[in-house]
A and B are shown apart, each in its own frame.
Chain A
Amino acid sequence: MRIMLNSPDPVPEGDEAVSTTGPVVLSARDVSFAYGAELVLERVSLEVRAGEFAALAGPNGSGKSTLLRILLGLLTPPAGAVTVFGTSPHDLRDRWRVGYVPQRPRIAPDLPATVEEVVATGRLAKQGWWRRRRKADRDAVDHALQAVALTEHRRKRLHELSGGQQQRALIARALSADPELLVLDEPIAGVDVESQRLFRDSLVHLVQVHHTAVLLVSHELGAVAEDLDHVIVLKRRVLFDGPPSELSATGVSLGVHRDDLPLWLEELV
């Protein structure tokens, strides 16, 4: 294995060893998956613990999206097992415990809904999808909007916001159910610098103050590189699983360049 450093950026400091104290909230054991004859995941195992800020990194086509769908219970792997809060994703009763922020392009682009209405759909996991909204639900939506600094835009249509603001609205949607595990799919792609900063601040606040576990799935980690507790690098199988300091010790920076990770990953196998 050879690792090539593409970025001259300084190695982030202050990394800590991967937490082994908190309970495991998400785990995969020997998960494999193939589309037809093409094997996209090969005996993948990983763990995310309570209160941990983790990232699942890898270039496009590395199997990240497939693994994410399996972890969320949207796909069932033919081999291996996934547990979320100690149970299979399909059997999890309190679904609000998992918050999911999908990729922004997945969201219906022309939906005539306000930011507040979109955020409120996230609360359904906790309030019960068939129930009317109560005061606690409205307060949770207000709080989620505040957390991502979108209160003043709540009455705007979602697609009237900038890309970064839309991304924050989707994070607020996931936060409105007070999740214990937040999974974000490529949340930084195409987001302006100011939104990246707000995004990073919200996630750090969530981990440090609310002890929420965060799993960020991305091919670019620049905005949060210095705050991560745990990095898992995937390219069909797990190539690295540990604290960022160990990754840095091998001469790799998580860097701030968009193309940093994909380029050095090409050299990794």
Chain B
Amino acid sequence: MYGLPGMPWALPWPFDRSYMQLALIAGVVVGAAAPLIGVFIVQKGLSLMGDGIGHVAVAGIGASLLFGTSPTWTALVVAVIAALVIEFLRARGSATGDLALALVFYGGIAAGVVLASRSATNTNLQPYLFGSILTATANDVWTVIALGAVIVVAIGFTGRALLAVVLDEDSARVAGIPARALNAMLAVLTAVTVVMAMRIVGVLLVAALMVLPVATSRLLARSFRGTLLGAVAVGVVSAVLGLFAARQWALAAGGAIVLVAAALFALASIVAGARRAGAQADSLLAGPH
């Protein structure tokens, strides 16, 4: 018996071992939660926000290695502060979106490398940069579940208002929707997602899980609700198939998950293209009578 203690049923290969079961739970939670945030930041034209905050989270990891604090919680504090600074700069218009991101992000990753180099431990940044889902502990997975629950609940309550904000911020404000507070909340949730996904796909690939499932779903769904649910489905399927491939061919799990997400996007592009061509042919055939 290699499965997780307390599991009510045995899972088939490749999820028959406890480390794979922990990875599966963490992967499914991140695969579902990351696109929930991604769908809004993609619409706001901030697709690289997750990537940038990931860079800043590295500074948090570096600091935790130096001071002996918890990597996850230290990275969370640093990432949340950075996200709020970026949102403040963006909302004030004192820096353009990409310049604000670049200023904060490169400073963040540089600080992370410098802090890590000063630490006395042998731990390096590698597991956080590229992910290390297969070494996740039960505690790590509980953290992922807790952070994932925060994201699901927050989007459940504010999703409709966030749609109004991404549609047109001025109209939302006139309607009494607290657009600035919601933008700040979205920035904080982006930081939460990055830190949550850090152990799964690594900070360098986290933006991919926030953006690729959304890009895939947008090609096929007709409604915003459909896009949201579709993106969650693509995220979860990417995590499961990626872990499967990682076990089967001894691949890096984080990279495998993102490659599956990219492949699903390519597949959806082909389907959407074929669908468009079909619709054009139909309208030509129908033609003016």
Contacts and interface: CB of A to CB of B under 8 A. Distances in A.
| A and B form one complex | yes
Interface stretch (B102-110, B120-128, B153-161, B190-198): B153-161
A95 B168 contact: no
B222 A155 contact: yes
Interface string B167-199: 110111111111000000000000000000000
A73 B174 contact: yes
Contact of B160 (A106, A108, A121, A155): A121
B168 A113 contact: no
Nearest to B176: A95
Given A102-B168, A106-B168, A108-B166, A124 B174 contact: no
Contacts of B168: 102, 106-108
Contact of B224 (A69, A73, A113, A124): A113
B161 A129 contact: yes
A130 B157 contact: yes
A118 interface: yes
Contacts of A73: 173-174
A129 B177 contact: yes
B43 interface: yes
Given A95-B174, A129-B177, A117 B161 contact: no
B175 A125 contact: yes
**Interface-central residue, A72, A108, A120, by most chain B CB under 10 Å:** A108
Contacts of A177: 175
Given A102-B171, A107-B167, A112 B176 contact: no
B223 interface: yes
Contacts of A121: 160, 163-164, 167, 172
Nearest to B224: A113
Interface string B213-231: 0000010011111110000
B174 A74 contact: yes
Given A102-B168, A107-B167, A108-B167, A125 B224 contact: no
Contact of B223 (A98, A106, A113): A113
Interface in B24-46: 43
B161 A124 contact: yes
Nearest to B230: A112
B29 to A, nearest CB: 24
Contacts of A107: 167-168
A235 to B, nearest CB: 24
Closest 6 CB pairs of A and B: A95-B176, A125-B175, A121-B164, A129-B161, A113-B224, A100-B174
7 contacts: A100-B170, A106-B168, A112-B227, A114-B223, A121-B172, A156-B222, A157-B223
Given A69-B170, A102-B171, 8 more contacts: A72-B170, A72-B174, A74-B173, A106-B170, A112-B224, A114-B223, A117-B163, A129-B164
